[in-house]
Amino acid sequence: MKNLIRAYLQEAKWYHEKKIPTMEQYMKNGISTYFLVSIGKVATKDAFDWIATEPSIVVAASLIGRLFNDLKSYEEEQKRGDVASAVECYMNEYSVTKEEAYLK
Domain count, the chain: 1
pLDDT of residue 38: 58
Q: Rounded CA gap, 85 and 77, in Å? A: 8
C-beta separation of 91 from 97 below 8 A: yes
pLDDT band with cut points at 50, 70 and 90 for residue 36:
low
First to last CA, the chain: 31
Is 70 exceeded by the pLDDT of residue 35?
A: no
Range of the domain at 79: 2-103
pLDDT of residue 16: 95
pLDDT tens, position by position, 38-94: 566 677 888 778 877 888 988 888 888 889 999 999 999 889 988 899 999 999 999
